[in-house]
């Protein structure tokens, strides 16, 4: 066990160190006083020698006084100049300044060493700050969310790759500034708040969640805008809600429908056949009623079973698909049906070697549904045309469009055509487009509708 120090030893040590530091700085004052005293005595001795007529000693004492004064000045001036240069270098951010060596009094040499130590500390601090800055810049550049920055009174500009890709998808070659139409939607957005905005991209409008933050600096204020894409999440959530609804409805309807259908069929089988007699008319009415119940119950059962496919999320088994071969296969499948209705179908794929990682059966089913819808829309026309077109955009998105020259979809119906149970055809069941939407969301893509400028409809699958 170490012996305990006296209580006053620590304070005595601190007083000793403080006294030593004061002595170090006092040494400089003593040195100055001594040097000035020596010069004064030499001058005084030279004056006394001259007064006595001793000119030779007087002439020797004057240079000696000048030499002592010069040495005193140089011993203080050189390290002070070096220290001043180091302070100036630190002020301009040069932390690599070094003195030539320990020239001058030890006190000024200590000052020079302290400044060099401060420079090394500032250099390490700046190096860490630069490393942190480079890391933050890399995080911003590679962030998957589009980011935009604006100084006070100026327009938002993209500051990372995701932001520039979004602007390029909206309008190729438009630069880095956020379009005024989008900025107008964000005009009333307060710092820290969120807002849903619609952004036109290619063939459709996509939904983004806008987040705004304000950063206050000493000399400026900047606003940081993040646009989080939520279209796919919203569509997936909506489809999941529909699927849950389908499952509940199908379960409840089938539980009630199955015994009704079974009982009505059993009653029909056991209903006696009476050709004559007073009960003939009544039994005929009962038979007709049971047949109606059986027929309607059977139709409702088939209807529910048809919609059950919407309640089951499609299982995606991705494979590499040659898009040109896929479109050629679609043409072979639909050509006989279309030729009977005088409808011409053509396709093109740009580039010709375009490929897609997707489930070939599901994508083929989606395209067939769109082609059959186009065929029905062209019923009665003698110049019906359907075009299948695959393209690769500048931002790497693959789009497959199905266009026709039919009447198109009215503006009032465009928001509802992808909803289950909704159909623009008198005999439609509202399954086809809803299933296409499910298939595309399962692939991480989307389906959209655009009215053709020359008339007709255009449905686009975007991957």
Which tens digits make up the pLDDT trace of 324-370?
999 999 999 898 889 888 999 999 999 999 999 999 988 998 999 89
Q: What's the CA gap between 297 and 291, in Å, rounded?
A: 10
**CB 322: neighbour CB atoms within 10 A?**
16
Residue in this structure with the two tokens 């007064």, named with its chain if needed: 51
Alpha carbon of residue 111 to chain centroid: 52
Maximum pairwise Cα distance, the chain: 177
Task: State residue 355's pLDDT score.
Answer: 94
Q: d(Cα 33, Cα 239) in Å, to the nearest integer? A: 93
Cα→Cα distances 191→184, 195, 203, 225, Å: 16, 11, 32, 10
| 58 strand-pairing partners | none
How many whole angstroms separate alpha carbon 157 and alpha carbon 225? 9
pTM of the full structure? 0.51
Length of the chain: 463
- Cis omega before residue 351 (within 30°)? yes
Q: Which helix (H) or strand (E) holds 205?
A: strand 204-216
E runs forming strands in 253-383: 319-322, 343-350, 355-358
Which two structure tokens, joined as six digits, stand for 303?
């209807």
- Residue 371 is predicted with a pLDDT of 93
HSE-up of 47 (CA within 13 Å, CB side)? 6
Residue 314 vs residues 230, 371, 438: alpha-carbon distances, Å: 21, 20, 7
pLDDT reported for residue 240: 64
Q: What is the pLDDT of residue 330?
A: 92
Neighbouring C-alpha atoms within 13 Å toward the C-beta of 403: 20
Q: Is 460 exposed, middle or buried (0-12, 13-18, 19+ CB in 10 A)?
A: buried
Contact between 182 and 196 under an 8 Å Cβ cutoff? The reply is no
Give the chain's radius of gyration (CA, Å): 45
pLDDT of residue 306: 59
Q: What is the pLDDT of residue 3?
A: 47
Residue 126: CB atoms within 10 A of its CB come to 13
Element (DSSP H or E) covering residue 221? strand 221-229
Among 254, 315, 307, smallest CA distance to 431 is for 307
Question: Are residues 363 and 355 in contact, defined by beta-carbon separation less than 8 angstroms?
Answer: no
Tokens of 274: 């009476």
- Closest Cα to residue 401, out of 344, 323, 333? 323
Tens of pLDDT, residue by residue, the chain (463 residues): 444 445 555 565 555 545 544 544 456 666 677 778 877 888 888 788 878 878 887 788 888 878 878 777 776 776 667 767 777 776 766 666 555 554 455 555 666 677 677 777 877 888 888 888 888 878 778 788 888 888 877 888 888 888 888 888 777 777 788 888 788 888 778 887 788 787 877 666 777 888 888 877 667 788 888 888 766 666 666 666 666 666 656 655 666 677 777 777 787 777 766 555 566 677 777 777 777 777 777 767 766 665 566 566 668 889 999 999 999 999 998 988 898 889 999 999 999 999 999 999 889 989 998 999 999 889 888 889 999 999 988 767 899 999 999 888 887 787 777 776 667 776 666 677 888 888 888 888 888 888 777 778 899 998 8
User: Which residues lie below 8 Å from residue 330, measured CB to CB, with a gap of 6+?
Assistant: 347, 364, 367, 368, 371, 388
Cβ atoms 455, 391 nearer than 8 A: no
Residue 307: closest CA among 435, 415, 446, 443: 435
Sequence-distant (6+) residues with CB within 8 A of 166 are 146, 158, 199, 201, 227
Consecutive H or E run containing 339: helix 323-339
Q: Quick check: 98 and 83 in contact, CB under 8 A? A: no
| Alpha-carbon gap, residue 82 to 99, rounded angstroms | 6
| Contact by Cβ (8 Å): 371, 445 | no
Exposed, middle or buried, 215 (CB in 10 Å: 0-12/13-18/19+)? Answer: exposed
Beta strands in 287-407 (DSSP E): 319-322, 343-350, 355-358, 384-392, 398-404
- Checking DSSP bridges between strand 384-392 and strand 355-358, what pairing results, if any? unpaired
């Amino acid at each position: 066990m170490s012996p305990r120090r006296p209580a006053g030893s620590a304070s005595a040590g601190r007083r000793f160190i403080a006294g030593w530091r004061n002595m170090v700085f006092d040494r400089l004052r003593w040195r100055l006083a001594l040097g000035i005293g020596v010069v004064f005595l030499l001058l005084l001795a030279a004056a006394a020698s001259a007064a006595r007529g001793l000119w030779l000693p007087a002439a020797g004492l004057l240079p000696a006084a000048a030499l002592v004064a010069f040495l005193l000045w140089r011993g203080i001036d050189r390290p002070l100049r070096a220290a001043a240069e180091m302070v100036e270098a630190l002020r301009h951010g040069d932390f690599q300044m070094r003195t030539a060596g320990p020239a001058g009094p030890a006190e000024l040499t200590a000052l020079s060493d302290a400044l060099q130590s401060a420079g090394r500390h500032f250099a390490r601090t700046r190096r860490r700050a630069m490393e942190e800055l480079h890391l933050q810049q890399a995080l911003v550049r590679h962030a998957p969310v589009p980011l935009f920055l604006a100084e006070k009174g100026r327009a938002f500009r993209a500051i990372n790759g995701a932001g520039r890709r979004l602007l390029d998808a909206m309008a190729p070659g438009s630069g880095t500034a956020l379009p005024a139409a989008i900025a107008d939607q964000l005009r009333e957005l307060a710092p820290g708040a969120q807002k849903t905005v619609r952004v036109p991209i290619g063939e459709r409008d996509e939904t983004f969640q806008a987040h705004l933050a304000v950063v206050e600096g000493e000399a400026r204020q900047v606003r940081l805008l993040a646009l989080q894409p939520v279209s796919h999440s919203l569509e997936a959530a909506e489809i999941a809600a529909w699927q849950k609804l389908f499952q509940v409805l199908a379960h409840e309807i089938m539980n009630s429908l199955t015994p009704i259908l079974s009982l009505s069929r059993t009653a029909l089988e056991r209903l006696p056949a009476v050709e004559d007699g007073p009960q003939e008319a009544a039994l005929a009415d009962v038979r007709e009623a049971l047949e109606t119940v059986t027929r309607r119950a059977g139709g409702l059962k088939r209807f529910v079973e048809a919609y059950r496919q919407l309640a089951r999320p499609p299982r995606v088994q991705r494979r590499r698909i040659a898009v040109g071969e896929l479109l050629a296969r679609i043409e072979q499948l639909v050509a006989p049906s279309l030729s009977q209705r005088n409808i011409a179908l053509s396709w093109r794929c740009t580039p010709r070697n375009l490929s897609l990682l997707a489930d070939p059966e599901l994508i083929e089913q989606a395209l067939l549904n769109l082609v059959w819808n186009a065929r029905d829309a062209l019923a009665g026309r003698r110049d019906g045309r359907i075009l299948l077109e695959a393209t690769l955009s500048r931002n790497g998105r693959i789009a497959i469009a199905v266009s026709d020259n039919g009447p198109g979809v009215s503006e009032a119906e465009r928001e509802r055509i992808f909803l289950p149970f909704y159909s623009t055809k008198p005999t439609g069941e509202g399954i086809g487009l809803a299933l296409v939407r499910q298939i595309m969301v399962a692939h991480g893509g989307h389906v959209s509708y655009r009215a053709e400028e020359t008339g007709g409809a255009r449905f686009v699958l975007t991957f």
